[in-house]
Structure 1
Amino acid sequence: MDAWIVWLIAAGIILVLEMFTLTFYMLWFCIGALVAALVAWIAPDAYLLQVVAGSIVTLVLTIFTKPISKKVRSSKGFQDTGTELVGRQGVVVDPIEPGQYGIVKVGSDTWSAVSTQLLAKDERVRVISRSSTIIEVERWEEFT
């Protein structure tokens, strides 16, 4: 298999992983892999050049976008969409056992969720925290 195909497959896998994390850091690795694929297509035998080109692009994107994202996040009026979830009510779609993932619907969105309690389907819950793609919930009745 040609090296450029391997780089494209790697870029695709990294892009799918980025979709799960929503952090934009994996996106830079995806773009670096795409650059490496381009170099591999132009110079198929220059393996070191492929790795170096992809690494440099990834590093440059990471270094230059971090201050920009920090500035945007600290700007007046910026609110992370996830912070509004904390305290909201949701409904368990897929039962949650302690230490296991389940699914909770909050508003019109569904989230992977964890809890320290056993929560049955259709039980009302309250969001107590959020990580990148997972929310932690507790039984709603404890807080009403």
Structure 2
Amino acid sequence: MEPIWSWGVLGLVLLALEMATGTLYILWFGIAALCLSGAMWALPGLPLSAQLFMFAALSIGSLAIWKLNYKKSAAGDLRVGQSRGDEVGRTGIIIEAVSPRQAGSIQFAQGVMGSRVWAAIADQPLAVGTEAEIVAVEGNTLRVRATGH
């Protein structure tokens, strides 16, 4: 098989692997292989040692540039699987009474973060049937208050 096709197939396989894993590390190796496939089109007689060197340089270089420019969120802001405040203000109906000493349940017409029913806590007692809004997401529980407060 021609080197141009070998590098192209390798690039596509690596990109498919990246799509399956979502790590963002394999992406740069796939792009490097596709770039090398383009280089082989422009320079068909490039020796294998030069091809391997170019692949390594492109892979490591693009990975290093990405790592230098990639901004992680602050350590205190890591809330895996939680809304980042997008759900605050959504309203639902209390289906199990809530008080400051006991958690209850709230139900929403449309799912909130993948579920229609959530455990709820509140600073004041809320009876069944009370309309309440989300004021905060605390772990896997929603802090709510009666609508209109």
| Percent identical | 27
TM-score (norm 2): 0.49
Helix, strand or coil: the match of 2:81?
helix
Say yes or no: does 1:53 pair with 2:60.
Answer: no
Q: Match of 2:25?
A: 25
Aligned residue runs from structure 1 range 10-21, under 5 A:
10-21=10-21
Distance 1:76 1:61 in 2: 26
Counterpart of 1:84, as a letter, is G
Q: 4+ residue stretches of structure 1 with deviation over 6 A?
A: none
Query: Aligned partners of 1:40 and 1:5: how far apart in 2?
Result: 9
Q: Which residue number in structure 2 is paired with residue 84 of structure 1?
A: 81
- Checking the alignment, whether the CA contact within 8 Å between 1:18 and 1:27 is kept in structure 2 is yes
State the match for 2:73 in structure 1: 74
CA distance in 1, matches of 2:51, 2:114: 46
Question: In structure 2, do the counterparts of structure 1 residues 32 and 78 end up closer, same or farther at CA, with 3 Å as the change threshold?
Answer: farther
Give the number of aligned pairs. Answer: 84
1:64 corresponds in structure 2 to 65
- Cα distance in structure 2, aligned partners of 1:3 and 1:24: 26
**Scaled by the length of structure 1, what TM-score is found?**
0.50
Q: Is the 8 A contact 2:11 2:34 kept in 1?
A: yes
- CA distance in 1 between counterparts of 2:66 and 2:77 reads 17
Residue 76 of structure 1 deviates from its aligned partner by 8.2
Larger Rg: 2
* 1:23 counterpart SS class: coil
Say which structure is richer in helix: 1
Cα displacement (A) at 1:79? 4.9
Q: Is contact 1:35–1:53 with CA below 8 Å preserved after alignment? A: no
Please tell me whether the aligned partners of residues 12 and 34 of structure 2 are also in contact (alpha carbons under 8 angstroms): no
Unaligned runs of 5+ in 1: 86-105, 109-144
Matched residues in 2 for 1:63 and 1:40: separation? Answer: 24
Distance of aligned partners of 1:35 and 1:75 in 2 relative to their CA distance in 1, 3 Å threshold: same
Structure 2 unaligned blocks of 5 or more: 83-112, 116-149
- Given that 2:36 and 2:51 are in contact with CA atoms closer than 8 Å, whether structure 1 keeps it comes out as yes
Using the alignment, how far apart are the partners of 1:42 and 1:16 within structure 2?
25
2:60, 2:52 → 1: CA distance?
12
CA contact (8 A) 1:39 1:49 kept: no
Q: CA RMSD in A?
A: 2.6
The CA distance in 2 between the partners of 1:62 and 1:34, in whole Å, is: 15
